[in-house]
Chain A
Amino acid sequence: MKLSTQHLLGIKDLTKEDVQLILTTAQQFKDVLQRPVKKVPSLRDVTIVNLFFENSTRTRMSFELAERRLSADVLNFTASASSVAKGETLLDTVNNILSMKVDMVVMRHSASGAPHFLAKHIPAAIVNAGDGINEHPTQALLDAFSMQEKLGKLEGLKVAIIGDIMHSRVALSNIYLLKKMGAEITIAGPPTLIPKYIKEAFDVRVEYDVKKALQWCDVANVLRIQLERQNQPLFSSLREYNLAYGINRKLLDSLNKEIVIMHPGPINRGVELDSDVADGPHSIILNQVENGVAVRMAALYLLANREN
């Protein structure tokens, strides 16, 4: 058994079997993380560089911890503190790093397609840690793992993805993954933040009334409003967004069922999620973060098995 791909560029390229293999392997790594020695020697001969051209807290720490738990050697690179600031190109930067005998590259970049470009030009295995508004595959995998852990299945699960769909790589990766695994999806949020042809492109439901979406779903994956990617105002104010699309305890209590709340972080408290929900009993946000390490260990472990 092995993955059908040499890189993890997006969920789009994975088969259903690939996703299942990663999720099953992640469960074994989650068990490893409960042991007194939370570490295995699997990747002790592998060197991994984390290339972050965009800010990150969770993803970067999660990848680094996953790499260290697998005993890989880890190099960290932050664009703002590097020669990129002097005008070095992406390919030059990466080739220079690779000449130091690096086997895998974990990259986050603000340009969609940057990891696909690298995969074509360099011999290392590439893991996409988020590229522009395209994909964030490991986030979708850890979301799926957390849903499956909490609710026991993915097939037939009703998932609402709520918020800034337009600028969200998490949304796109989640849609690809959930579709592959047979879940039902409703996209919800303000019309200005939902791409026009999403319904036709992915065969998903679109709902502009958040309460109706919540009433329908088993799980609500609430996304962050990405103000840094919005060049023009797409809603009048954060307060108004909160009033119309924000999720609070009162709204959840008005439903006649219990649903699970997820968020990929970082949360804009008081905008898309109120604190009484984010920290409340419905939320599995911190479980998502915990599962992130196990899922990334699984992805790295399965990709390290390439013949050089």
Chain B
Amino acid sequence: MKAILTQQQVELTVKRLARQIWENHLHLENTVLIGLQPRGIYLSDRIVDELKTLMPAEKIPYGKLDITFYRDDIRKELHIANKTDILFSIENKNVILVDDVLWTGRTIRASLDALLDFGRPAKVELCVLIDRRFSRELPIQSDYTGRSIDTFASQKVKVYWKEKDEKDEVILM
């Protein structure tokens, strides 16, 4: 077991990710944030909290997307669906997808399919806390990355969030 990010590092990393997004999309002009259910929403909640210090909360278009019904592994494992909550149009918008860990890329593949059923965005970007590099099964990469790490397929990356797990920490098992 190895700590990848401590509580303080998680905090700093979230701040950096929020400011990088802000740098590329000043005032979130024509830009929306969408957190991926179930574990990506903790990161997206934090990023939105951080953006609220830079602009009025009600001007941040923020939604949540569940991709359960778009997965390619329904025969292997049944996942329980969560709520999808996108109360705005994504037509011609810059969409920033937010998830905790990028590994094989299959979740992001499914989320792109799910997203396109809501409209045709101008551009889609990806923001992740942890990028398990060199382990992709699909040609997908992140635009905003908290930390890139090298892992074996047998290892697990566990992201803990205070809201759910009573601490902020990322560990490699």
Contact with B along A16-40 (1 / 0, CB 8 A): 0000010011001101100111011
B69 touches A1 (CB 8 A): no
Interface residues of B in 108-166 (CB under 8 A from A): 113-114, 117-119
Query: CA A42 – CA B68 in complex, angstroms?
Result: 8
Interface residue tally of chain A, by bracket? Answer: 20 to 34
CB of B2 within 8 Å of the partner chain: no
Query: CA A43 – CA B68 in complex, angstroms?
Result: 12
CB of A304 within 8 Å of the partner chain: yes
Contact of B69 among A2, A45, A301 (CB under 8 A): A301
Contact of A25 among B80, B84, B118, B119 (CB under 8 A): B80
A36 touches B118 (CB 8 A): yes
CB of A127 within 8 Å of the partner chain: no
Query: CA A6 – CA B151 in complex, angstroms?
Result: 38
Shortest distance between the CB of A30 and any CB in chain B (Å):
11
B residues near A25, Cβ cutoff 8 Å? 80-81
Closest chain B residue to A39, Cβ basis: B117
Query: CA A28 – CA B68 in complex, angstroms?
Result: 10
Binding site for A on B (CB under 8 A): 66, 68-71, 74-75, 77-78, 80-84, 113-114, 117-119
A-B contact pairs, 23 of them (CB 8 A): A1-B78, A2-B78, A21-B80, A25-B80, A25-B81, A28-B69, A28-B84, A31-B84, A32-B84, A35-B118, A36-B118, A39-B117, A40-B70, A40-B117, A41-B70, A41-B113, A70-B69, A301-B74, A302-B78, A304-B74, A305-B75, A305-B78, A306-B75
